[in-house]
């Protein structure tokens, strides 16, 4: 069996959590949101930003790297493609390698969200679901 | 016979000794990498691909991040036995490629699907964004499940039950893993605008609802979990080994939440938890 060594990807923990939150919000996956919102806050994403994503609103006042990631992820998840300007902004901030890692994160969280949503995986008792059903959760 | 094997072996040895490794990689926004451009971290991954099954479409993209290449191989690759039938697999892949409007996946897989027994009627309907009308019962269950899941991000009780009757719970998890992989491939290819080969023309038009829902879907408001918890007496040795591994704490940082679901497919479960610990 392969050893379970940890890999380290250069995409920062803060940006990885931002990608996770956007993908989780796109899938309205209550359990993953519950698991990730605390982790996201610990990586340095501010609580106002996290709450805005939970409410399905477009956050204001993002840093340049956060804004490039937000636009890239939301455009890809809403329309299945990205415009040149969006791609180039993400590449400028994160280089090709960072863009590829964002895509890997989205792919991973989509897969886990599908498993949990199909199951209707329950929240721990006493925890209320935080994500409302919205027509467009990632504007 | 033996002579023939030897001559193939000698040919393989001499040709690998003479030729420099040749990577034939293509892309658009991610330009095709050459072997000479690769970093020491990327080279072993390319060498393994060149000496094994070759490079698949997204290799040029994922190689940008050697860590991600390895992790994706763990999650999605390295499986030997087919989990669903080829026909079921290909129907799921075509549906996913149509939802994402991924021209390259469609170009490759509509032929494979026809060979695997998906009918031309079904392939044309999916290409044109119509609901196919002549599906076999297992195909209808897969198609309905995927149209609901991809469009609405959830599935109705009716769609879940119909699929469970056709495939059983384990293969529902395998189907989701397959779709998860092809969604990842699709989004990477779409971002890259991965080029079609030679003189192929794109066959998928951009349409608003490429994978239409049935008009009759009714989503129940129930919120109880659907996969039934497994008791230890019901588990296979492979499932017990997976559970032992999780309980040993060697998968640090992994998402333990969906364990009950992942236990249906322990190979996938291990890989997912491993990726979660990245």
This complex has an ipTM of 0.93
Burial B77-100 (b: 16+ CB within 10 A, else e): eeeeeebbeebbbbbbbbbbbbbb
Pair B260, B230: CB distance under 8 Å: yes
Asked if the Cβ–Cβ distance from B173 to A115 is below 8 Å, we say yes
pLDDT computed for residue A122 by the predictor: 84
Contact A119 B227 (CB under 8 A): yes
- Of residues B145, B166, B165, the one with CA closest to residue B156: B145
Separation between Cα atoms, residue A120 and residue B160, nearest integer Å: 11
pLDDT value of residue A53: 98
- The nearest alpha carbon in chain A to B226 belongs to A119
Regions of chain B where pLDDT drops below 70: 1-21, 74-82, 218-223, 250-257, 275-278
**E strand or H helix at A77, and its extent?**
helix A64-79
What is the reported pLDDT for B234?
85
What contacts B216, CB < 8 A, 6 or more positions away?
none
* Dihedral in degrees, nearest 10, Cα atoms A98, A103, A104, A106: 130
- Helix, strand, coil percentages in chain A from 3-state DSSP, rounded to 5: 65, 0, 35
pLDDT (0 to 100) of residue B72: 76
Residue A2: band (very low, low, confident or very high) from pLDDT cuts 50, 70, 90: very low
Give the burial class of A104: count Cβ atoms within 10 A of its Cβ; 0-12 exposed, 13-18 middle, 19 or more buried: buried
Secondary structure class of A49 (helix, strand, coil):
helix
The tens digit of pLDDT for each residue in A88-103 reads: 999 999 999 999 999 9
pLDDT over 80 at A44, yes or no: yes
Q: If you count residue pairs, one on A and one on B, with CB atoms under 8 Å apart, how many are there?
A: 147
Contact at 8 Å (CB) between A4 and B277? Answer: yes
pLDDT at A7: 44
Distance from CA of B96 to the nearest CA of A (A): 11
**Tell me, what's the pLDDT at B257?**
57
Cβ within 8 Å, pair B190-A27: no
CB contact under 8 A, A103 and B72: no
Residue B8's pLDDT is 37
Can you give the pLDDT at residue B170?
82
3-class SS of residue B6: helix
Q: Identify the pLDDT of residue B18.
A: 46
Judged by CB atoms closer than 8 Å, whether chains meet at A96 and B64 is answered as yes
Q: Are A71 and A40 in contact (CB under 8 A)?
A: no
B48: distance to nearest CA of chain A, Å? 16
Average pLDDT over residues A43-52: 94
Cα radius of gyration (chain A):
15
Nearest to B44 by CA among B25, B31, B63: B63
**Structure-block tokens of residue A23:** 């993908």
Residues of A in contact with B179 (CB under 8 A): 114
């Amino acid at each position: 069996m392969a050893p379970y060594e940890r890999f380290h990807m250069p995409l920062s923990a803060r940006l990885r959590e931002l990608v996770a939150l956007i993908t989780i919000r796109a899938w309205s996956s209550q359990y993953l949101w519950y698991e990730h919102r605390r982790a996201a806050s610990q990586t340095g994403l501010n609580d106002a930003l996290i709450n805005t994503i939970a409410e399905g609103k477009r956050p204001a006042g993002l840093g340049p790297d956060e804004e490039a990631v937000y636009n890239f992820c939301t455009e890809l998840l809403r329309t299945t493609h990205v415009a040149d300007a969006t791609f180039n902004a993400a590449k400028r901030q994160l280089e090709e390698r960072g863009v590829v890692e964002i895509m890997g994160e989205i792919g991973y969280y989509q897969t886990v969200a599908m498993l949990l949503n199909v199951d209707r995986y329950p929240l721990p008792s006493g925890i209320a679901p935080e994500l409302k059903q919205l027509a467009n959760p990632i504007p | 016979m033996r002579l023939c094997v030897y001559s193939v072996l000698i040919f393989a040895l001499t040709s690998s000794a003479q030729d420099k490794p040749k990577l034939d990689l293509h892309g658009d926004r991610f330009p095709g990498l050459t072997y000479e451009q690769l970093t020491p971290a990327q080279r072993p991954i390319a060498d393994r691909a060149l000496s094994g099954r070759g490079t698949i479409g997204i290799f040029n993209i994922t190689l940008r991040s050697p860590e991600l290449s390895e992790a994706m191989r763990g999650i999605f690759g390295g499986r030997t036995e087919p989990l669903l039938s080829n026909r079921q697999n290909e129907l799921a892949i075509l549906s996913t490629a149509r939802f994402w409007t991924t021209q390259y996946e469609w170009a490759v897989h509509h032929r494979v699907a026809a060979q695997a027994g998906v009918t031309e009627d079904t392939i044309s309907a999916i290409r044109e964004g119509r609901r196919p009308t002549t599906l076999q019962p297992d195909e209808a269950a897969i198609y309905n499940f995927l149209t609901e899941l991809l469009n609405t991000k959830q599935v109705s009780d009716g769609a879940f039950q119909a699929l469970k009757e056709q495939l059983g719970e384990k293969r529902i998890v395998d189907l989701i893993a397959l779709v998860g992989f092809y969604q990842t491939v699709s989004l990477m290819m779409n971002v890259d605008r991965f080029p079609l080969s030679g003189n192929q023309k794109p066959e998928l038009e951009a349409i608003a609802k490429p994978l239409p829902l049935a008009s009759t879907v009714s989503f129940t408001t129930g919120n109880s979990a659907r996969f039934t918890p497994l008791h230890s007496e019901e588990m296979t040795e492979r499932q017990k080994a997976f559970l032992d591994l999780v309980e040993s704490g060697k998968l640090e940082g992994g998402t333990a939440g969906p364990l009950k679901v992942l236990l249906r497919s322990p190979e996938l479960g291990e890989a997912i938890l491993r990726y979660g610990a990245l």
